[in-house]
Amino acid sequence: MAKKILVVEDVSFLQNAIKMVLEDAGYEVLTASDGLKGLNAATTKKPDLILLDIMMPKMDGMTMLKKLRQHPNGKRVPVIILTNLSSEEKLIEANKEGVTDYFIKSDWEIEELPELVENKLG
């Protein structure tokens, strides 16, 4: 059975690109465009891995993550942060909340994503 990946990202075309590349790699992709919807999907759909953007309206990524970790369904799921921030401040903060890894959107290539996802799923 294909692994379920939840992509929480507010910028639609970035969301599309990620969906495209992950589906090509054989994953099932769920999407949410803000933190609230993302939290909902994460706790109800139980994805195998979550790709989480930080800067989002309604509820940002860090807040969603905190809430997720408090939820019984969200304690263990691997979370990869999607960020544009090249400074590591927020990443260090995120680490404390149990971030599995991070992916810098502006610096890294899209084709590196499936490999990263596979690594973290294992």
Partner 1 sequence: MDSGLKETNNRFKHIPAMDSGEFQAFLNNSDDIIIATDPDGTIKFANLKARRMLGYLAYELEDKKIINIVKDDHGSYAEEVVAKARRGQIVKDIKLILVGKQGQKIMVEGSLTPLFEHRECTSLWAKFTTVTPDASTDKEIKKLRQKRFELEALKSLSDRLTNIFDLREAIKTINNYLSEVLEYSSAAYLIFSPEHDDGYVFINYLKDKVGKKYIEAVKKDISSHLTNERHKEIKQIMDKFTDIKPEIHGSRLDSGSRSVPRSQVIFPLKLGAATLGLIHISSSKPNRYLGGTNWLTDAMVVTFVLFVVRLQMVLRAQRSRTETLVRSLSDGIIMFNDQLNITLMNEQGQEFTGLDPNLASLRDFFALFPKANLESKTTKMLVSGKTVHVDNVHLRSRHYEIFFTPVKDNQGKVVNGAIVLHDITRLKEIDQMKTDFVYIASHQLRTPLTGIKWFIKLLEKEIIKNGQVTTREKECLEQITLSNNIVIKLVNDLLNVSRIETGHKFKIEKTSFDFSVLMKEILKDNVVGMEENNITVKVKCQPAKLRLRADRTKVRQVIHNLITNGVKYSLSGGTVLVNAKADKKQVIISVKDSGIGIPKNQQQDIFSKFFRADNASAKGLPGSGLGLYMAKAVVEAHGGKMSFKSILNKGTIFTFTLPR
* Integer Cα distance of 32 and 60 in angstroms: 12
Residue 72 and residue 3: Cα distance in Å, rounded? Answer: 20
Q: Which stretch binds partner 1 (CB under 8 A): 14-22, 40-48, 63-71, 72-80?
A: 14-22
User: Could you say whether residue 44 binds partner 1 (CB under 8 A)?
Assistant: no
Stretch that binds partner 1, among 9-17, 27-35, 37-45, 63-71 (CB under 8 A): 9-17
By CB under 8 A, tell whether 87 contacts partner 1. Answer: yes
For partner 1, the binding residue among 25, 30, 59, 110 (CB under 8 A) is: 110
Q: Which residues of 85-101 are buried (b: 16+ CB within 10 A; e: fewer)?
A: eeeeebbeebeeebbbe
CB of 25 to partner 1, least distance (A): 11
CB nearer to partner 1: give 70 or 86: 86
Q: Count Cβ atoms below 10 Å from residue 70 Cβ, excluding itself.
A: 9
Q: Across the beta sheet with 28-32, what order do the strands follow?
A: 28-32, 4-8, 49-53, 79-83, 101-104
Cα(105)–Cα(18) distance, rounded to whole angstroms? 10
Interactions with partner 1, residue window 65-84 (CB under 8 A): 84
Question: Residues in the site for partner 1, rule: CB under 8 A?
Answer: 11, 13-14, 17, 20-21, 24, 84, 86-89, 105-106, 109-111
